[in-house]
Amino acid sequence: MIENIILITIILLIIIAVFVFIIPFICFYMAFYVRNKDKKLKEEFDMPPGKIYEPYHAQMKIWMQKMRAMKSEDVYITSFDGLKLHAKYYEGKKGAPVEIMFHGYRGSAERDLCGGIQRSFDVGRNVLLVDQRASMQSGGNVISFGINESKDCLKWIEYVNKKFDGNIQIYLAGVSMGASTVLMATGYDLPKNVVGVVADCGYSNIQDIISVVVKKMGIPPFLALPFIKLGARIYGKFNIDELNPIDAVKKSKIPTIFFHGDEDDFVPMEMSQINYDACASKKRLVIIKGAGHGLCYCKEPKTYIDELKSFEQETLEN
């Protein structure tokens, strides 16, 4: 009798361990963890995989070559939780506004924002190109889908203001998770010299974008999400419900332009519409026809720049 009770107890403990620790760890590892060897910049140009990107690989390679040839300044700061973060500063014109740029999920600044420097120069802005935490030269191994990254954004704003004595206008820009990062940052009380946001194909809710990805893997989201949330809490030390872009933009005072491609099969275009509708600040939504995920600028560079200039002029007039 006692032996049976012991056996049943052991079995129950194993089951509990599987559901409380092992499955959440697997979910955490797959969704949020980045191995150190994945953080190294490749000597060869790292092109985004997938057929939708292939037509743009040649142009992306040219942009990357130009980026590597440009004069830049390596910058390091310490995050709110003690990580060493890295960025590169590119100056096209002294005294010009600074655009702080953030790349996407498991991406790199070079790959995701290779066209961003010249695009920013074209609209009269200098660039601080950020390696998000857990990417390239920045510390950490955990991606938090913009929650901790938005707090890092505040530290980068603080850095720029120290560098230029608060006398430079600042723009925040991001693509994919980077877009959601800067949108979440608008929910904080930002300095008055943060004058604009460029959010390219960002998601509106962390739980929703995870559900989209999980569903594509053939896993019912209602089964996976509890374990993903638990894994984030136990092993990543963050809560995916702590902050979402849609909640932040409801409090935003920063003029925001949203870009999204109507053929985005990763972050649904409707998510930018949701963010746009919820945004409390001056806003504009630009839908680029035929553009896949993160390809709005590649698809229509002139339209992209014209919309940026037009929106900036509109906000200045008001």
Residue 130: which CATH number?
3.40.50.1820
Q: Report pTM.
A: 0.95
Residue 257 is predicted with a pLDDT of 98
Q: What angle do CA 221, 223, 266 make, to 5 degrees?
A: 20
178 half-sphere exposure, CB direction, 13 A CA radius: 29
Ramachandran quadrant class, 267 (left: phi over 0; alpha: psi -120 to 50; beta: rest): beta
Residue 189 is predicted with a pLDDT of 96
Give the total number of structural domains in the chain: 1
Residue 122 lies in a domain: yes
Among residues 121, 180, 116, which one has the least CA distance to residue 150?
Answer: 180
Residue 317 is predicted with a pLDDT of 72
One-letter amino acid at 127 equals V
Residue 13 lies in a domain: no
Residue 4 is predicted with a pLDDT of 77
Residue 239 lies in a domain: no
**What is the domain extent for residue 140?**
50-205+244-317
Beta bridge partners of 99: 127, 171
Query: Checking DSSP bridges between strand 170-175 and strand 194-200, what pairing results, if any?
Result: parallel
* Segments in the chain below pLDDT 50: none
Residue 254 lies in a domain: yes
Residue 318 is predicted with a pLDDT of 65
One-letter amino acid at 66 equals K
Alpha carbon distance 294, 135 (integer Å)? 18
Residue 174 lies in a domain: yes
Residue 183 lies in a domain: yes
Residue 17 lies in a domain: no
Alpha carbon distance 78, 166 (integer Å)? 19
Token couple for 282: 């001056």
Residue 226 lies in a domain: no
